Amino acid sequence: MTVAVSPSPSDRRTLTVCGGAHALHDGFTDLLNVLYPLLQSQFGLSYGAIGALKTVYSGAMASGQIPSGRLAERFGGVRVLALGTTLIAVGYCLAGFTGSLYGVIAGLLLAGLGGSTQHPIASSLVAAAYHGPRSRTALGTYNFTGDVGKVLLPALFALVAASLGWQQAMVVMAALAVLGATIILASLKPIVTHGTAEPAKNIAGQDRPWAYWLLFSIHIADDLVRTGFLIFLPFLLRDKGADLPTIGLGLSLMFAGGAAGKLVMGWVGQKLGVVPSVVLTEVATTLLILAILPLSLELALVLLPAVGLMLNGTSSVLYGTVPEFISPEKRTHAFAVFYTGGSVAGATGPLLFGLMGDQIGLTTALAVVASVALTTVPMVWALRPAFRSEGVSP
């Protein structure tokens, strides 16, 4: 029997600060979806070029995640996380102060590298503070906080950009990043991010590489759908007649639904099991994206929270399942690889879908994005034997 242990003030502070870092970093990433239409208007960019800009950011983030984990082991996760947050500020300042396309590209590259520190390091800091059975609940809370940033920062950026211009809005976001880095350094003590896992005795988490990699493949497909829909959503809303603040509102509505999805689907996953939950979210994602295409702007805005709920709900189920297939001492690296895979999908998907949009049009490209979600159904069905061998409901 496992005895519940109340978290110490230090544990709670770690979760609070790491959750705040997650909110900032995810918000900094997703506010770029508001920036892209502004850049398209100013520089006359194609959908393919917009996808390439997103690939610069996501590619830098993908390439930096595993090295960030290694640097954290050597220099301390708190220092590296604060440095990465500061690097985002430098990148956004560069984009804002130069106002040129090349300055934006360089700024996105730096910001992507800075953003690569957050997921592997902050999740490891939380897992180190809440090791053992408590880590699932703590990591679920941490996962939810990212969507809080996705709701708030794109809307804030849209309001500032509408009032002052996108360059000034980027500088305001940079100031928030500096504030965040300062709080991280001032609030957290260095915490070892490896070697704190409890032995794998009488708990779920025996190594099942085939199941982990199948789960990884589902994660990739799910991320392709999410990033593909996000890259097109601002343009879809614009074509329906939305102005800039309304586009920001639409993104915030979708992210609010996504935040709810991470909480709701975590509970649904416990009640129904992983396989039915993933099938539910992915099929619903396909149907909802297809449904939103012909709707008016007003009806599309009403439907966006439901799209976000299903689009983001899958991730809560997937991340919570990783520990069931990996022994505790290997989980830090397994999560780093898992996050990196999602970042690679986030880097390549928008470019491919953007080029596709240039060729076949926005609506047809979004229909293709929606259909990708259905590829996860046979994969998650193939996971059922792994859950049966653990005695867990699939």
Per-10-residue mean pLDDT, the chain, length 394: 63 91 94 92 88 87 85 85 96 95 96 92 80 64 85 91 94 97 88 45 60 91 91 92 89 86 75 86 95 95 94 79 72 77 81 89 94 93 77 54
- With contact defined as beta carbons under 8 Å apart, do 327 and 319 qualify? no
At CA 217, angle to CA 213 and CA 222, rounded to 5? 145
Distance CA 100, CA 121 (A): 32
What pLDDT is attached to residue 174? Answer: 97
CA 136 to chain centre: 18
Alpha carbon separation from 57 to 64, 105, 183, 237 (Å, rounded): 11, 8, 25, 23
For 208-211, which contacts have Cβ atoms below 8 Å and span 24 or more sequence positions? Answer: 208/325, 208/386, 208/389, 209/325, 210/386, 211/325, 211/383, 211/386
Alpha carbon separation from 324 to 192, 193, 334 (Å, rounded): 23, 20, 12
Distance CA 156, CA 154 (A): 5
As given in the structure block, the two tokens for residue 310 are 């299903």
Q: What is the largest CA-CA distance in the chain?
A: 63
Tokens 């399942």 -> residue: 321
What pLDDT is attached to residue 198? Answer: 43
DSSP secondary structure of 175-219: HHHHHHHHHHHHH------SS-PPP-SSSS----HHHHHHHHHHH
What's the pTM value of the predicted model, to 2 decimals? 0.73
Distance CA 394, CA 380 (A): 10
CB atoms within 10 A of CB 378: 8
Distance CA 353, CA 340 (A): 20
Domains and CATH numbers, the chain: 11-193+204-390 (1.20.1250.20)
Distance CA 282, CA 311 (A): 7
Q: What is the DSSP letter of 326?
A: S
HSE-CB for 172 with a 13 A CA cutoff: 16
- With contact defined as beta carbons under 8 Å apart, do 24 and 85 qualify? yes
What region does 393 belong to: left with phi over 0, alpha with psi -120 to 50, or beta?
beta
- With contact defined as beta carbons under 8 Å apart, do 327 and 211 qualify? no
What pLDDT is attached to residue 148? Answer: 87
As given in the structure block, the two tokens for residue 55 are 């690939």
Q: Which residues contact 258 (CB under 8 A, 6 or more apart)?
A: 147, 150, 308, 309, 311, 312, 313
